[in-house]
A and B are shown apart, each in its own frame.
Chain A
Amino acid sequence: MSEAVTPLNGARVNGLATIADAGLTGMITLRGDLSSAEVKAAVQKATGLDVPAQRQALSGQGAAALWMSPDELLLICDYDGVAETIATLEEALRGQHFLAVNVSDARTYLHVSGTGAREILAKLCPVDLSPEAFTPGMFRRTRMAQVPAAFWLDEAGTFHLICFRSVADYAFNLLKTAALPGGEVGVYG
């Protein structure tokens, strides 16, 4: 059995913000009718979290539920706990029209933290990232330079960013370049 590694293999860089590989993380795509009681109960049972509202992220102990689209969630859990979580979902949703699939190795997951975090993301994404407009708990899928990406902000001010594994190097280098000292814009104070 080969050893699982993340595409960035623990890469980390300090600049205007700290950009760090978040390490192996379990990710499950769950599609179904998000307004149904069955899906709500299944997500609660599998992650201990509610179904997030539109464009929101809910985080718990080692778990998160992210609103991806009107019929899709991304559930975050331990890398080793994915099979068990999917089994719980499948058990809870038996007979329903749904899909739960392991996408842990299809994505790369980064943490962007520090005072410059908002600014370096705002250099790359067409999103208003001012503290008034983008608040903790919000989730946003968008474009980061030339690739799709999604991120949410936690209470500690760290951005959690997800993009496809195949563009992990590109995404990391983008963020690294945007965070180069000397590139301060100071637009968010």
Chain B
Amino acid sequence: MLILTCPCCGVTGEETEFHQGGEAHLTRHGPGASDDEFHTYMFAKENPKGVHFERWRHNNGCGKWFHAARDTMTLEVYGTYPAQTLEPPQEIRDAITAKRPGWTWREFA
């Protein structure tokens, strides 16, 4: 069971109050993109054992989307941060580094 804190309304709630919304920080490719770009966007997902970044929605609460950094192996939540960001903020990266030195996820480290 994950315990997440919604950065929009401040509620710290358990997983069933939220809904997972897929991988975070995707670059979308639509009409006009090459087949390779679209294929990568559509199908090439991260499936790490360890540090992972996801989008979540507080669907039984304030209804807002946000980002979460968590560990798929230990189920530890490193932190949550607003949806309006293109990359994980430094304090989230620092929190992960404290637990998992040398971590990488896509282009982030």
Binding site for B on A (CB under 8 A): 54-55, 68-70, 72, 126-127, 140-143, 148
Q: In the bound complex, do residue B8 and residue A70 qualify as a contact, i.e. CB atoms below 8 Å apart? A: yes
A131 shortest CB reach to chain B, Å? 19
User: Contacts A70-B8, A142-B60 given; 19 further ones with Cβ under 8 A?
Assistant: A54-B9, A54-B10, A55-B9, A55-B11, A68-B62, A69-B63, A69-B64, A70-B9, A70-B62, A70-B64, A126-B14, A126-B17, A141-B61, A141-B62, A142-B13, A142-B61, A143-B16, A143-B17, A148-B59
What is the interface of chain B mostly: helix, strand, loop, or mixed?
loop
How many residue pairs bridge A and B at CB < 8 Å? Answer: 38
Shortest B13–chain A CB gap in Å is 6
Q: Which residues of A contact B63 (CB under 8 A)?
A: 69
Cα(A70)–Cα(B82), bound, Å: 12
- Chain A residues with Cβ below 8 Å from B64 are 69-70
Q: CB-nearest residue of chain A relative to B8?
A: A70
Hey, which chain A residues are within 8 Å of B61, CB to CB? Answer: 69, 141-142
**C-alpha gap A148/B19 in the complex (Å):** 13
Interface string of B13-55 (1 = CB under 8 A from A): 1101100000000000000000000000000000000000000
Are A55's CB and B14's CB within 8 A? no
A-B contacts, 20 listed (Cβ < 8 Å): A54-B9, A54-B10, A55-B10, A69-B9, A69-B61, A70-B8, A70-B9, A70-B64, A72-B62, A126-B13, A126-B16, A140-B11, A141-B11, A141-B62, A142-B11, A142-B13, A142-B61, A143-B16, A143-B17, A148-B59
